[in-house]
Structure 1
Amino acid sequence: MNYKYRKLEDSLAAGLAAWRRSRGQRGAGLALLGLLALAGLALLVRPLYHQATIWWWLVMGLSTLAWLALLLQYLILPLRRRPTLMQVARRLEEMNPDWEDRLTTAVEFGARAGDRENPLWDRLVEDAAAQAARVNLSAQLQLRFAVWWRALALAAAALVTLLFLRFADLYQSQGLHYFDGSGTAGRELEALQVEPGDARVPAGETVEVIAATPEHDAAGATIYLEQGREQWQPFAMNATTRLGTFNYQLYDVLDTLRYYVRVGEEISPIFTIIALAAPEVKTLRVTYIYPREIARPPKTEESSGDVYAPAGTEVQIEVTATQALARAEWKMSDGSFTEMTLRSDTLATAGFTVAQDDSYLLRLTNRDGLSNKPVEYFIHVTPDEPPHITLTRPGRDLRPTMLEEVTLEASVREDFGLQQLTLIYTHNNQPSVRVDLLPQAARSQKPEATAVEYTAATVLYLEDLEVRPGDFISYYYEARDARQMATSDLYFFEIRPFEEEFYRALSQGGGSAQPGSGLAISQKEIITATWKLLQRRPAITAEEYNRGSAALAETQAGLQESIEQMATNAATRGRFTGESGAGKMTVYFSQAAEAMQRAVPLLQAGNLSEALTPEREAYRFLLQAEVELRRREIMQGAGTSSSFTQLQSREELAQLFKDELDKIQSKYETQQQQQQQELQSGLTEAQQKVRELAQRQERLVELNRQLSRESALPQERRRQLERLRREQEQINRELQNLSRQMRQLSNAGAAGERQETRLLESMEQATQDLQRSLDNLRREDPAHAAADGDRAVESLRRLQDRLQRQHSGSLREQVKTLRDEFQQLAEQQGRLSAALEQQRPPSAPAPPQWQREQESLRGQSEQALEELRHLQESAADRPQPAGLARDLRNLMNELEQRRVPERMAQAGQALAQNDLERALAEQNEARQALQRAEKALQRSLTQLASNPEEQLDLALQETQRVRRGLEQQMTESRPPAEAALPPGQNPGSTASGERLLPQEVERWQQQLWSGARHLEEIGQFLRGDTALVDDYSRLMQNYRGVLRSFQGGDPQRLEEVERRLMEPMRRFEAELAGRLAALQLRERLLTIRDERVPPQYRKMVEEYFRKLAKGGN
């Protein structure tokens, strides 16, 4: 076919489509307008339906016929017409006479295949196509005003759609009125009719009373109600769109009531509505049958119905209803209701197996056929956490002698049940020994806790193990539950010789650490790191494992190099000095280096289990070298004629060891500090996150309370509950993520084992409270959700406090508390000693209360020493401040050597034997040791005050402490008539004229001297403030003047103390408090710009300033 002819046909077809489209738009617009008119007419003539039904049918019938005719004329028939291309061409020829039938001729010839072979046809088509190209065929063929018809169709369609969406309920109700009235339209009511009449409805249901009267012109109707003992109360009924019909809503029918209706002179009979209560759940008992591998006995509890159990647990539900039941049903959230087993008329049971987080519903039906609103209960699959092991005794590395008996005690926290608890210890490189402790473990559980505590203790008799000085024993614990296994940290016993006790007695704790001990400690750290990496291998990637192995190999190689150098130097010096025992030390160092050499390639290859054997050998040789070195020092220290050469050689050897140890430790300190900084950063982020969650939960609790107090529409209430539920779910998810992060921090050593246990308990409690709040929101119960949310906020606050105490900022508070404890112990011991010195005659028996007080002091001193030990262990895990752990460790060693609790116990025994002289001697020794501890902790406390805010706070606390002590002393020293006066009030002259007793004067002097020492120590914190320095100088000048002029026996001196010392001290204390508050406010103003602002508020502020700028222009 000719290409130009096909193009001509396409143009004619496009014109034909425009013609059909324009007629369709016109027909659709007219049809929709007619439909709207018909619907409006139906509403207008509705009254005729009841008054003149025939006319109504006539009007509506004619209108409908007219609309159908319009639809047929303008839409259906035009669309059924299908003109041919020849007809289209003739129409165009009529509209364009100058074409002279060129277009019709071309189309006619093109329709016959034979004519297309005529050579003139191509010219004819070309001429017709040229004529058609000069005009717009589609515009000529479509109807006149086609654009307006198109706009009319679109507007009519939009109007119909709008009316359908916005007024569908109106047309539906009007249509229902048509149908409702159809049954009675043909007859007149003979009397007043009332629905529902007598009825039985569920309690709380809303009942609609409808009254219909034959008097269509009735102006109103009245309903009279009687409920209980109330009198008949009239209420006006509401008129409806139906003439003569009125209604009234009875909301929340909870009890039986009677009613009747009056319309004009017509009165209905008295009807009764009986409210029937649906059955409710009275009690719900849940029985857990745990999987066999958990090995936990079944547990039954009466709870809220929510299920908390591990996957695979069989759950039996027993429901007790408030009424006799005809049927009880239950279903999972995505299932269908299933019949429960009725054990009695009010008891029903069902069961299921916990597989995933889900919920189940209970529906109870009584014999009246009333059912309760299905109650939803939630199923939570509790994760099976691995056992958590805490070593309670000794909980650290020890250095016992070979005849000691060491008690080992561990507690294991397991959520469902422990199946294995084993102690594994190894003597040097001998095969490991496993001791099963589960049979003898004591089992306990706190009332509200879900986890079970297992405590097991055993005793290692070192003499039976045939240990020798220089040997070591490593031990750890394994605990296994049904699915997982956990291990504790690795601990060591280093067997020391008996001669070390003698050496300690000679040195009195004043010597420095032995030069060889650091090398053994470094090797022990390598063993511990190798063992930990081996334990963590299943939980880390191959890349992390290889990187850790390479780091251990590098560290071991560096230590080997240092040991070899030390062995060479020791051998050289031994040959020149001729020292006895130098050959043994050289052998030990050489053997240790050889063992390390065998360990390095194994570590490089990743064979950690095989590398542990040579690592342990090297550790033992280093311990033996340490024992030999100490033995030589004891022997050389005992000799009286050691040469200067030997002394110089020993000092040089010690310096050499120290230099090598410093090089080794420098390799570890940076890495350890980085790890500690990461851990501290993690704890800081956790603390901030908990604070944020607590604030968000507080806001959520307040919103829950508001929602429970408001009476919002049901749809609005559901939307608000859904929003609150999503927010609560988000808080729960974030707390669960934080819990996992805290477990990782705990496993990495960020917390001590006791602190870790308390943190996890707080985390678990907060998680449970948040989950209960979420469950109540899912039940659409915001009041109980707010109550549970309050408990969750308290749990989060407790968790925040624990994190804060564990953070570095809490270390200062711990030191301060411990310092106050030692000070109080020293003061109490001093008062007891003073009372003992006043005992006259000395041979008189000591009062029994002195013995009891001395025994109480002994117990308090043991507790204080235990707290000091924990504080020292906590400080050892922190990189800052430098030297704090060392000072605390030295203090701990000094107190152990001075044996404070033992001396107090001996003083108590002396009091029991009436040996007052010996009791006084022991008490004085104990008091002096306690005072030294107080001073040492005060120096540590000063060291911890690093920034100006902490320094001012410490100065304020010390000033308050001194002032309270002096006020207490003044209260005790006043005459009885003045003792009741408040601090700061001048008592005036002493009426009684009694003089102070000598012992009171001595106590005053001690108190003043003690306060002076404390005040002198805070001067270093005030150097940057000239005004405070001046006030402090005047205060100290007054203090020293009072101290110099204080003389006993004259009670008037108390007035001098009050005037010259107490009042200036209170003013100085107020000045310190003001400066501290100003500093805190300044820090707040400086840092507030860095706080994160919510995006929505940031946008509001930016928009405000933008509009302000525009307004200014």
Structure 2
Amino acid sequence: MNHVYRNLEENLTAGLRAWRRSRLQRGVSIALLGLFGLAALALLTRPVFNAVPVLWWILAIIGLAAWATLVLQYLILPLRRQPTLAQIARYLEERNPILEDRLATAVELGAHTVPARENPLWPRLVQEAADEAARLHVPEQLQIRFAQWWRLLAVAATTLAVLLLFRAADLYQGYFANYFESNAQAPQAVEALQVKPGNARVPRGETVEVIAESPHLEASEATLYLEQGPQSWLPYAMSSTTQLGKFTHQLFDVLDTLRYYVRVSDEISPIFTIIAVEAPEIKTLRLTYIYPQEIGRPPLTEENGGDVYAPNGTEIQIEAISTQPLAKAEWRLHAADFREMDLRNDTLAVASFTVTKDGHYVLRFTNNDGMTNKPVEYFIHVMPDEPPQITITRPGRDLRPTMLEEVPVEVRVREDYGLKQLTLIYSHNNQPAVRQDLLGQAARTQRPSGTSSEYIAGTLLYLEDLGARPGDFISYYFEAHDAKQQATSDLFFFEIRPFEEEFYRALSQGGGGGMPSAGLSISQKEIITATWKLEQRRATTSEQELARGSSALAETQASLQESISRMAENARMRGQFTGESGEGSMVTYLEKAAEAMQRAVPLLQEKKLAEALAPEREAYHFLLQADAELRRREIMQGSGSGSSFTQLQSREELAQLFKEELDKIQSKYETLQNRQQQENASSLNEAQQKVRELAQRQERLVDLNRQLSRENALPQERKRQIERLRREQEQINRDLQNLNRQMRQMSNASASGEQAGQELRENLEKAAEDLQRSLDNLRRDNPSTAAADGNRAAERLRRLQDQLQRQQSGSLRDEMKQLREDFQQLAEQQGDLRTALEQQGEQIAPEQRQSFQEQQRALQEQSEQALQNLQRLQESAADKSEKPAVARDLRNLTNDLAQRRIPERMEQAAQALAQNEVQRALAEQHEARQALLRAEKALQQSLSQLSSNPDEQLDLALQEAQRVRRELERGLAQSRENNAQAGGSPLGQGRASQQNQNTPSQQAGQPGDNSNSPEQLRPEDMNWWNQQLWSGARQLENVGQFMRNDSALADDYARLMQNYRGVLRSFQGGNPQRLSEIERTLIDPLRRFEAELAARLATLQLRERLLTIRDERVPPQYRKMVEEYFERLAKSKQPATNNP
């Protein structure tokens, strides 16, 4: 029965909690409402505070006392009450007489000792009390009246209080601070007009507030008079304040000495003088970096820098030279207090600190007049010491040279602070590795950003001196050490081939099917590479991953050993059966390879990776010798003309045997390789999405920065917005750094694409540098400059996204198409920049000239990237033997652009702008643009050669038509916009400059005046439209070659070109057409032509998919019958073809 009583107690306890909760909600509601009432009372009685402060304080005390009484009565006292369960039971019986004292009796007896419960009526009494209590719903019985409404009111009041606290805290804090600040002292009757600051000395450029207090409280206006010349005073109305008789006025940017006086009613103050004094400024700031001893980098001195970029533990020595003699120099590190700097003389102050974390430092100077400069804040960035980044530039892949070749190897290493060691490590067959130091002969260059160095080193491997023979192999890789870390490149192989291989292979093309000899060794080479990589990553790999990788390698090696042993046994038996010579040597090689693999398996299982490499390499060597023997036999037998039927049959059976075994081996590796490719594609796709997201977030942040720089917000609101933008920028920076680390890990895990991965990382780091500069400018309260840096970072992220897309697609045609668009955009941007510069004339403001230089250098970086992409595209096309003409054209284009020196010309244009040589800059820009247009045209021709399929040709034609149509639509929209604006420039500033040279003047009422005909084409635009139409005609002429196989499309194309040429003739005749006529005769037909091309392309693609759904071969039993049928058909037509 105890459980029945416990249920009764829990029911009553729940009612007690409901009682306390309802009273708490009511008390909170009343307390918050009372607090809101006090705030409203303070706002309403502010005039009373200004007029009669004593009365205000009396009202405030009464209000506070009333609020405290409410809180005490409805919140504190009810919660202090602790009713017992017996009292709760009595209260319930008073409200419910039906209980008849049973509930209270059960509770009181239950509270007694155990003997009191031995009454035989006790169980029945408790059961009845529990049933009645359950029926009564005790929590609802004990709640106060209107409990639900009090609950809603408490939630609403609490929500409102939280919103006011977090969303408008600054506003109310400032308001109430001003409430008491403006009235901190009761208005005292002044005897005469008082003016502050009176005579004063202020820093030059400072804003001075003039305050006037008059004894006449009824005065409603005051006037400030500033001296403008001898006996000339200019009046300014002063602003009234909440205090009667008090007025203010602000003098902005005081640069010279000012004399002023104030007049209030009939009172005139004396004439005061404000003297603008130069505050000390930092003339030269010199930073000396003393790097930690383990880095080993010599000290570095920077002039006129300020911001610190250094690794952890670097000592920074600050030397600041002031423009004036100093009385005191102070500095502050992070959030600490200001402390004095060491004054070496009257203008030189020094200090030092050690870099331990990101932060900032501030310099503050005070001269002998007591003037203090505006403290300058510089930022401290702890740069991580990244491991060296190795890129093998030559050859960067596996090769098959002859034994007399001299193979060049070249490496490029990027390091933050300096290399300690750069070593080439190569090994011949299974011999001990040879280490060759390359650091002494490496060429070191400093990157433009100044944050890292590049080392380029190379050497020649003389294979004859190494004793290489056909069937041997040489493996090589590079190691780079900095002060703390080590980096290793990928492992590559040279397989030595005989001289006569290509010659005999050409002679033996008709000798029968070739054997799959290359597959014998490639699988073992993959095992060696995987074992070596796992050993290199042992220090950074968990024990579980190491065990899983070793187990997978052991299983793969055992499987390959079993296949090689089976192949050797079958080859031995077949050699004994056929009696062929040379069979024994190949079997011996296979057996030795299998024996070496067998020794490697237990070492892999025991995770002894370094020890396992020796038998693995030994097996690889024997497999290469078996491959060489197999090639030799194939060539010799293929070149012989007297091979017997038995020998031919033996060769075919042996080839079939090897093929079956190799198919089993390769199926395992293909599965593994497909899985790895899928993982790499997934990683690239994820990285591309992250880059797209970062670019979108950065573009949004740039827009917010520009909007903030244009707005005139209040200081507090501006500070709050800048802080929010700074936090968002910091989050973007962190996400970009995380992405950079992921990309580095992904490139380290991949055996291919090292150069592309290096370029991706470099672009990421450049974007990170731009983002960091944007963040620094935000911290300096400079959103306009932050927007410029952030915009550059967003453009880099967009280019990085395009680069990831190109790497993910891997298609030569797609890469060429993207590269052509890059050159087209570069040409357009260079042309726009040149036109804008031409409009400015010879006299250019320094700020505008600096902007032109930055734009030109940005184009230079993009052109360098485009040329690198062209070089990579040319190498990729050279590897694809099916398009030799395209590879030749790309090689010629690469050589031609190298001679035209596009980046150098852009650099010279920027230098000419720096020297204010506008004409030389215009000439260099013209040459660069012509070279870019030439590259675009050449890529278009190569792209047409790649478009061999009908759907590819139609796709290319559609893109060309779309490009022409978009250019015309852009010009049409610009012309209409210019016509809508009175005095607007034709087609932008750049085009306006060009037209102004051709048309010297335009008077109102001439055809250029568009006030009466908004659709009339302006004469100023005629030259631009002529150039654009001729350019579009040349582009559309290239489309015609793709229309030859389709008569319907050819007719549509002919009508389109007829309309186009008609418009061209009207422009040449000087007949300016209406804009609506241009749209009707040019743009609308182009749209219809695009729609027809798109529909035809969709039809071809659908047909191709339908044709490739099923591919059924002719059954073997009917194949011979079909072949005989076509042979007879061909013989029957032969006489007809011979007759004339």
Q: TM-score range by the shorter chain?
A: 0.5 to 0.7
Residue by residue over 1:573-625, the C-alpha shift from the partner in whole angstroms, topping out at 9 and shown as x without a partner, is 21222211011111111111111111112212211111111111111111111
1: CA distance between counterparts of 2:197 and 2:941? 91
Instruction: Note if 1:338 corresponds to 2:339.
Output: yes
2: CA distance between counterparts of 1:509 and 1:321? 88
Query: Which letter does structure 2 place at the counterpart of 1:1031?
Result: L
Deviation at 1:739, TM superposition (A): 0.6
1: CA distance between counterparts of 2:711 and 2:434? 68
Unaligned stretches of 5+ residues in structure 1: 1-29, 50-55, 72-157, 821-861, 874-887, 905-933, 962-979, 987-1007, 1020-1027, 1037-1065, 1083-1113
Instruction: Note if 1:953 corresponds to 2:970.
Output: no
CA contact under 8 A between 2:511 and 2:639: conserved in structure 1?
no
Q: Secondary structure at the match of 1:345?
A: coil
Question: Counterpart of 1:518?
Answer: 519
2: CA distance between counterparts of 1:62 and 1:501? 110
Query: Which letter does structure 2 place at the counterpart of 1:698?
Result: E
CA contact under 8 A between 2:182 and 2:242: conserved in structure 1?
no
Question: Counterpart of 2:100?
Answer: none
Question: Counterpart of 1:1031?
Answer: 1049
CA contact under 8 A between 1:958 and 1:1015: conserved in structure 2?
no
Q: Secondary structure at the match of 1:652?
A: helix
Question: Counterpart of 2:386?
Answer: 385
Deviates more, 1:380-389 or 1:648-657: 648-657
CA contact under 8 A between 2:954 and 2:1097: conserved in structure 1?
no
Question: Counterpart of 1:697?
Answer: 698
CA contact under 8 A between 1:202 and 1:370: conserved in structure 2?
yes
Deviation at 1:497, TM superposition (A): 2.2
Alpha-carbon RMSD across the aligned residues, in angstroms, is: 5.1
Deviation at 1:785, TM superposition (A): 0.9
Change (3 A) 1:229 1:672: farther
Q: Secondary structure at the match of 2:369?
A: coil
Question: Counterpart of 2:452?
Answer: 451
Change (3 A) 1:696 1:716: same
Matched residues, percent identical? 62
2: CA distance between counterparts of 1:211 and 1:777? 38
Question: Counterpart of 1:317?
Answer: 318
1: CA distance between counterparts of 2:476 and 2:754? 17
Aligned length: 780
Q: Secondary structure at the match of 2:730?
A: helix
CA contact under 8 A between 1:869 and 1:892: conserved in structure 2?
no
Question: Counterpart of 1:376?
Answer: 377
2: CA distance between counterparts of 1:38 and 1:800? 58
Instruction: Note if 1:469 corresponds to 2:486.
Output: no
2: CA distance between counterparts of 1:242 and 1:540? 74
CA contact under 8 A between 1:805 and 1:811: conserved in structure 2?
no
CA contact under 8 A between 2:472 and 2:495: conserved in structure 1?
yes
Paired residues for 1:349-498 under 5 Å: 349-498=350-499
Instruction: Note if 1:739 corresponds to 2:740.
Output: yes
Deviation at 1:471, TM superposition (A): 1.4
Change (3 A) 1:502 1:1069: farther
Q: Secondary structure at the match of 1:232?
A: strand
Deviation at 1:385, TM superposition (A): 1.2
Question: Counterpart of 2:1090?
Answer: 1073
Query: Which letter does structure 2 place at the counterpart of 1:595?
Result: A
CA contact under 8 A between 2:705 and 2:787: conserved in structure 1?
yes
Deviation at 1:788, TM superposition (A): 1.2
Q: Secondary structure at the match of 1:621?
A: helix
Query: Which letter does structure 1 place at the counterpart of 2:773?
Result: R
2: CA distance between counterparts of 1:780 and 1:234? 34
Query: Which letter does structure 1 place at the counterpart of 2:681?
Result: Q
2: CA distance between counterparts of 1:1035 and 1:195? 83
2: CA distance between counterparts of 1:576 and 1:38? 114
Residue by residue over 1:832-855, the C-alpha shift from the partner in whole angstroms, topping out at 9 and shown as x without a partner, is xxxxxxxxxxxxxxxxxxxxxxxx
2: CA distance between counterparts of 1:1067 and 1:69? 81
Deviates more, 1:226-235 or 1:292-301: 226-235
Question: Counterpart of 1:599?
Answer: 600
Unaligned stretches of 5+ residues in structure 2: 1-33, 68-159, 822-867, 896-939, 964-1027, 1055-1082, 1100-1140
Q: Secondary structure at the match of 1:292?
A: coil
Query: Which letter does structure 2 place at the counterpart of 1:471?
Result: D
Residue by residue over 1:24-65, the C-alpha shift from the partner in whole angstroms, topping out at 9 and shown as x without a partner, is xxxxxx9xx99x99999998699799xxxxxx9xx9999999
Q: Secondary structure at the match of 1:587?
A: helix
Change (3 A) 1:503 1:1071: farther
Deviation at 1:280, TM superposition (A): 2.8
2: CA distance between counterparts of 1:255 and 1:685? 61
CA contact under 8 A between 1:288 and 1:313: conserved in structure 2?
yes
Deviation at 1:959, TM superposition (A): 10
Question: Counterpart of 2:864?
Answer: none
Deviation at 1:314, TM superposition (A): 1.8
Paired residues for 1:966-1005 under 5 Å: none
Query: Which letter does structure 2 place at the counterpart of 1:1073?
Result: E
Paired residues for 1:39-78 under 5 Å: none
Deviation at 1:481, TM superposition (A): 0.6
Deviation at 1:210, TM superposition (A): 4.2
Q: Secondary structure at the match of 1:586?
A: helix
1: CA distance between counterparts of 2:781 and 2:760? 32
2: CA distance between counterparts of 1:398 and 1:1080? 42
CA contact under 8 A between 1:679 and 1:750: conserved in structure 2?
no
Deviation at 1:723, TM superposition (A): 1.0
Deviates more, 1:533-542 or 1:786-795: 786-795
Q: Secondary structure at the match of 2:366?
A: strand
CA contact under 8 A between 1:194 and 1:212: conserved in structure 2?
yes
Deviation at 1:336, TM superposition (A): 2.1
Paired residues for 1:1003-1022 under 5 Å: 1015=1042
Question: Counterpart of 2:707?
Answer: 706
Q: Secondary structure at the match of 1:318?
A: strand
2: CA distance between counterparts of 1:294 and 1:341? 29
Change (3 A) 1:689 1:165: closer
Deviation at 1:735, TM superposition (A): 0.7
Change (3 A) 1:693 1:397: same
CA contact under 8 A between 1:509 and 1:893: conserved in structure 2?
no
1: CA distance between counterparts of 2:804 and 2:195? 70
CA contact under 8 A between 2:329 and 2:366: conserved in structure 1?
yes
Q: Secondary structure at the match of 2:294?
A: helix
CA contact under 8 A between 1:205 and 1:251: conserved in structure 2?
yes
1: CA distance between counterparts of 2:581 and 2:61? 133
Deviation at 1:386, TM superposition (A): 1.1
Change (3 A) 1:658 1:865: farther
Instruction: Note if 1:678 corresponds to 2:679.
Output: yes
Change (3 A) 1:348 1:818: closer
Question: Counterpart of 1:139?
Answer: none
2: CA distance between counterparts of 1:65 and 1:500? 108
CA contact under 8 A between 2:1052 and 2:1089: conserved in structure 1?
no
Change (3 A) 1:958 1:567: farther
Residue by residue over 1:417-452, the C-alpha shift from the partner in whole angstroms, topping out at 9 and shown as x without a partner, is 011111111111111111111111111223335321
Change (3 A) 1:513 1:788: farther
Question: Counterpart of 1:715?
Answer: 716
2: CA distance between counterparts of 1:659 and 1:353? 68
Change (3 A) 1:532 1:513: farther
Deviates more, 1:759-768 or 1:281-290: 281-290
Change (3 A) 1:939 1:428: farther
Query: Which letter does structure 2 place at the counterpart of 1:649?
Result: S
Query: Which letter does structure 2 place at the counterpart of 1:539?
Result: T
Question: Counterpart of 1:609?
Answer: 610
Change (3 A) 1:424 1:220: closer
CA contact under 8 A between 2:586 and 2:626: conserved in structure 1?
yes
CA contact under 8 A between 2:261 and 2:268: conserved in structure 1?
yes
Query: Which letter does structure 2 place at the counterpart of 1:554?
Result: E
Query: Which letter does structure 1 place at the counterpart of 2:696?
Result: Q
1: CA distance between counterparts of 2:704 and 2:581? 82
CA contact under 8 A between 1:1031 and 1:1068: conserved in structure 2?
no
Question: Counterpart of 1:795?
Answer: 796
Deviation at 1:321, TM superposition (A): 2.8
2: CA distance between counterparts of 1:284 and 1:458? 44
Deviation at 1:289, TM superposition (A): 2.1
2: CA distance between counterparts of 1:375 and 1:631? 78
Query: Which letter does structure 2 place at the counterpart of 1:486?
Result: A
Change (3 A) 1:610 1:418: same
